[in-house]
Structure 1
Amino acid sequence: MPPRFVDIHCHMLPGIDDGARDSADSLAMALLAVEEGIDTIVVTPHQLGGYVHNRGDEIRVRAVELQELLRAHGIPLRVLPGADVRIDDGMVEKLVSGEVLTVADKRRHVLLELPHELYQPLEPVLDALDSHNITGILTHPERNRGILSRPSLIEPLVERGCLMQVTAGSLAGGFGDAARALAERMCSRGLVHFIATDAHGARSRRPKIRDAYQRCVELAGVEAADAWCSSNPGLAVTGQAVPAGVTAVRPAKKTGWAFWKKAA
């Protein structure tokens, strides 16, 4: 049996960004998440970039309100506050002050979002975060166009201590063949630390993770799949250190390496 899943990246707060439109949408997403085996979700509306109006205190209040709504409807899902943070000027200072949210508001890990169309060096950002004992988690690197054109960027970042979060839907082909191929190669090489839904609604980009978990088992083995979908996110939401570096993989079946070698 698969473990209970913890999702650290989900746009379930209603009416605050491009995720859930209203409370009914949030409830439908929550029901889908529970059906998938998710028992804890970090709600992560966008902050900074085009969403500078989203403030930390507002997200905290809305997360509590959503938890109360789920409880009133008997939906057994724990909700914690967080944010999908666009790398921007003043980001580190706002994380330290709490104006911009870390994962589960623990000030230990932060979801870092690059512009989708390009890659920009992350080392200065990671160094600045390190000085405040905050670890960066790069969200959906397999969907970033700059990284897709240069996947060799990933391994040095992992060796540097940057954590990687792959989108569950990428492993199912929901973001195209190139994103799926890179996500699979990252899993095969142990260059992953989290699988998250990055869900935005109940009809499209839904909070689905079970199929991605099974694919991770095939590509990297049960222990790695459990770590990426359950134990690592479980550590993050409690503010504990997540093992960095390359994950040991024991694939359930052989996988090809041609894409990675060619692209690198």
Structure 2
Amino acid sequence: MPDKGLFDIHCHIVPSVDDGASSAEEAYKMLQMEYRQGVRNIIATPHYRLQMFETPIETVEHQFLVLKQLARKVAPDLHVYLGCEFHSNMEMVEMLRSGEVHTMAGSRYVLTEFSGSTKASYIRERLYSLLSHGYKPIVAHIERYECMRKDIGFVEEMADLGALMQVNADSIIGKDGFGTKRYCKKLMKQDLLSFVGSDCHGTKERISRIGEAYDYVSKKEGDSYANQLFIRNPQKIIADAQRRKVR
């Protein structure tokens, strides 16, 4: 697959910190798979979830340095950044401010996860809290949440509030069923999506299909829209991070 300079903003590729890459060897193979998919920029997003994934930030940062070294071995133009998939809780803002949990590549963007059955009122409350404190929440794999699947008007409401929506590549191309694929198509038609991520966890199951998803979106919605989801919008995350470093 040719180099398109694609981004993957959601993947579990940092070795030995969550339920993703189990070793440096597996992380290396995952990086190779991403590269073959046309990905050149990766925001690694290890899980943080209370009482489930609470790997100390020092360990995450050390393992991310291992990942950076592996990326250099794959190709000099493969860039990796550190983020987090942050499962929502009532202390999110405090944890972000203290640096206990990473934002996306050091930007104001926060990849925010909920449970599938989470009520709309709780999602609204948590997203509003992040927005009111200057963060830019990206709602991870919105196709998984019952309240968003059943009521696209709620998705519109959250988007109008300022939240950004991400779906998984597998969902876009139909690997998670026809109903999910149709839902993603509806989101695209209503211009409610901002990002597509692989959410890859390994080399055999839940693999990266970013390039395949890009080709599908490009065919159905045009190159410009595909570039918006897979390149231009992710570039805004990196640009925001760079502005924060300059301050």
Q: Write the mapping of 1:165-204 to structure 2, written as runs, cut at 5 A.
A: 165-204=166-205
1:69-96 Cα distance to aligned partner (Å, 9 max, x none): 3324556421111110100121111011
Aligned match of 1:114: 114
Between stretches 118-127 and 170-179, larger displacement belongs to 118-127
8 Å CA contact 1:30–1:75 kept in 2: the answer is no
Is the Cα contact below 8 Å between 1:115 and 1:144 reproduced in 2? yes
Name the counterpart of 1:68: 69
1:138 is displaced (CA, Å) by 0.4
Residue 96 of structure 2: aligned partner: 95
TM-score normalised by the chain length of structure 2: 0.89
Residue 3 of structure 1 and its aligned partner are, at CA, apart by: 3.2
More helix by share: 2
Q: Shift of residue 126 of structure 1?
A: 2.5
Query: Are the equivalent residues in 1 in contact too, given 2:170–2:198 (CA < 8 A)?
Result: yes
1:89-168 maps to which residues of 2 (within 5 A)?
89-106=90-107, 108-121=108-121, 122-168=123-169
Count of residues in Structure 1 that have an aligned counterpart in Structure 2: 240
Q: Which 5+ residue runs of structure 2 have no aligned equivalent?
A: 243-247
Deviation at 1:2, TM superposition (A): 7.3
- Structure 1 length-normalised TM: 0.84
**How far apart, CA to CA, are the structure 1 residues paired with 2:76 and 2:25?**
13
Contact 1:43 1:82 in 2 (8 A): yes
Q: Which residue of 2 aligns with 1:253?
A: none
1:151 Cα deviation after fit: 2.9
Partner of 1:246: none
Question: What is the distance in 1 between the residues matched to 2:44 and 2:3?
Answer: 23
Cα distance change on mapping 1:70 and 1:3 into 2, 3 Å: closer
Describe the superposition over 1:1-23 as per-residue Cα deviations: whole angstroms up to 9, x where unpaired.
87310111110011211111111
SS of corresponding position for 1:60: helix
Alpha-carbon distance, 1:112 to partner: 0.6
Query: 2:7–2:41: 8 Å Cα contact kept in structure 1?
Result: yes
Q: For residue 239 of structure 2, what is the aligned residue in structure 1? A: 238
The runs of at least 4 consecutive aligned structure 1 residues that moved more than 6 Å come to none
SS of the aligned residue for 1:103 comes to coil
Q: Which moved more, 1:30-39 or 1:48-57?
A: 48-57
RMSD over aligned CA atoms reads 2.0
CA contact (8 A) 2:45 2:84 kept: yes
**Same amino acid, percent of matched pairs:** 28
Q: Residue by residue, what CA displacement relative to the aligned partner does 1:28-48 show, whole Å, maximum 9, x if unpaired?
A: 110010011101111111102
1:18 aligned partner, one-letter code: D
The answer as to whether partners of 1:49 and 1:87 remain within 8 angstroms in 2 is: no
Are the equivalent residues in 1 in contact too, given 2:68–2:80 (CA < 8 A)?
Answer: yes
Shift of 1:137: 0.5
Structure 1 spans left out of the alignment, 5+ residues: 242-264
